[in-house]
Structure 1
Amino acid sequence: MYILKPESRERIWGTPRLHDYYGNQQIDKIGSVYSASGVSEIDCPVVNEEKTFSEIIAEDPKRFGLKAGDVYPLIISFTACDENLSIQVHPTDDYAQSVEQLPYGKSEAWYFIQPPEKGWIYAEQQVPEKSVLLEAAKKNEYTKILKEYPVAKHELIYIPSGTIHALTKGSLVYEIQQSSDITYRFYDYDRIDKNGKKRPLHIEKAIETLHPEKQVEKRTFPPGNIFAQREFSIQHLKGKQIVENKSEIASILTIIAGQLTIAGETCQTGQSIVLLKDEMIELPETAEAVLATPIRYWEE
């Protein structure tokens, strides 16, 4: 097994609340603490190794249940915001393969550790026609045609690729996403970044990959619960127990509360441990975690 060191990223909508999740103390507006990521843009260092997550995979991908040249198929992060995120959509598999030359698109799920201030996020459209969305784009009136989707603390929202959505102010989530880390922005509230420029929008690509008929899925996610989708499965764990990776592919155990010790190394809230096939770890009574396992559905 391997312990990963999280990577923090500053965002215009970020928050200091992520300091409690291993966030970089030098960054005030942290948007995401990437607890486990092995993509080129965000590659987590391995604790006690002079290597990154992607580098240890590249040395022997079979140990991780992967093939030569594969990246780890999931990204795990803690994401939080003190302002609304941009209204956005992620590519479907078909669009990612044909336009971005990637093996899959990006579906994701959010487990709400802290709920949004107003009790809802943006998800789905009120009217399932792209033409209505295009008309809203011309007038910057997206909020009038999107659903204010209710969500509460400890609820889980699954967002399939091709679905319009946005986290809203106050949210703090455990986030699991496929590792084609592409976001197409419809609207960003005309915000100005630290360089005095508006962030780019991607309306053409966003409209092309949008599937207005798709819906998000909401459920409770109490300890002991397993949530499985085509792209991944996650299990909510709390209290003393043995955690084992029974999958052929490496799983990611992420601490969402408390801490645990492995061979003298203390792992804090916000950190992740990579469990290879058949590896086990004991979760202490005071810890809470999520075990994430990718599913290689795109090769079926």
Structure 2
Amino acid sequence: MNDIIVLEPVLMEKIWGGSRLKQFGYDTPSDKTGECWGISGHAHGTNVVANGPYKGLTLRQLWEDHRELFANEEGDEFPLLVKIIDAQDDLSVQVHPDDTYAKEHENYAFGKTECWYILDKEPSSELVLGHNASTREELQQMVDDQEWKALFRSVPVEKGDFVYVPSGTVHAIGKGIMILEIQQSSDITYRFYDYGRKDTNGNERDLHIKDSVACSMVPHVDPVLDRSSWKEDGVAIERLIQEHYFTVHKWDINGNVVRENRSYLLMSVIEGTGSVVTEGGTHTLKKGDHFIIPSTVANYEIIGEMKVIVSETTK
């Protein structure tokens, strides 16, 4: 296949979701739409291919049956998941396991390390990022005593910020924040705290205190990020992160960019319009589009004025 893989988004309603995903051109099911899974091979929500010879198949099926599209990378699961999240209300305070804990306790290949590019926020919006306990015993005691305000660490955030959330990080996306999230392809979440909220049936959502305490990084340590920037082949590139599971860049395109393809790339348009050209065809691009340039594409050209988040597994 010498063309890109265009993916149909998967929209998910959430108790904390809103209506702002309509800004990306998505046909949202309600005004409680919290997530768009833009690039996903996960069993809980895999995208359908919208073009080319594999139209109608899922990304999960492509990973299983056409590994040549992904540089013959090994693994039972498509490794990454890219989402856009609209938090109309605070998300639960939660933590995700690492790979070892996920395999032992959930029988799943991946834990969940993730990162966030802040697309938008309200003036008073904050994240929960980390906690104030010095030892696991202190963490357990503060949880037992329900000292939530003293335990959780709130931090301000601005549009354009980038946040790295390795597994074991206590965190919550705050009310009014929109993010693009790149993560390991895992849907395992342990809730510490959920504000006593009730679902549409009047039930409080389950908490997972034992797993949350067991998985949490203690003490919390903020990661140090190196957001390096440079110009290359007519595009201004900023490396947001390069770590064990994924490498993420932001491309600011103003004109045209011609590049040789090294592997397979996950691309999400967060601003602007344009087009992408391969030997297999030309596709228009707009804010909210997600697509994959497979490893079978040797060269490609992107034309327009756009900001694109480019993700790949770290080789």
Structure 1 length normalisation: TM-score? 0.90
Contact 1:6 1:22 in 2 (8 A): no
Aligned mates of 1:218, 1:241 — CA distance in 2: 33
Partner of 1:284: 303
Closer, same or farther: CA 218–150 of 1 in aligned 2, 3 Å: farther
Instruction: State how 1:140-159 maps to structure 2 within 5 Å.
Output: 140-159=146-165
Residue number among 113, 118, 126 corresponding to 1:120 in the alignment? 126
1:72-129 residue CA offsets vs partner (Å, 9 max, x unmatched): 1100011121111100000012211222223331111111111354253111111222
1:207-245 residue CA offsets vs partner (Å, 9 max, x unmatched): 111122343437568751112111100110112342647
| Pairwise CA distance, 1:286 | 1.8
Partner of 1:230: 244
Aligned mates of 1:177, 1:274 — CA distance in 2: 16
Aligned mates of 2:310, 2:81 — CA distance in 1: 13
2:22 aligns to what SS in structure 1? helix
The answer to whether structure 1 residue 275 and structure 2 residue 288 are counterparts is: no
Partner of 2:233: none
Instruction: State how 1:2-17 maps to structure 2 within 5 Å.
Output: 2-17=5-20
Structure 2 length normalisation: TM-score? 0.86
Unaligned runs of at least 5 residues, structure 2: 230-235
Identity %: 27
Contact 1:260 1:287 in 2 (8 A): yes
Aligned mates of 2:312, 2:74 — CA distance in 1: 19
| Pairwise CA distance, 1:279 | 4.1
Residue number among 238, 242, 258 corresponding to 2:257 in the alignment? 242
Deviating more after overlay: 232-241 vs 36-45: 232-241
Contact 1:163 1:212 in 2 (8 A): no
Partner of 1:23: 26
Aligned mates of 1:139, 1:23 — CA distance in 2: 43
The answer to whether structure 1 residue 47 and structure 2 residue 66 are counterparts is: no
Deviating more after overlay: 228-237 vs 125-134: 125-134
Higher strand share: 2
Partner of 1:85: 91
Aligned mates of 1:107, 1:79 — CA distance in 2: 16
Contact 2:126 2:175 in 1 (8 A): no
1:21-61 residue CA offsets vs partner (Å, 9 max, x unmatched): 24333321111111100110010111131111111222211
The answer to whether structure 1 residue 138 and structure 2 residue 144 are counterparts is: yes
Closer, same or farther: CA 193–119 of 1 in aligned 2, 3 Å: closer
Contact 2:132 2:220 in 1 (8 A): no
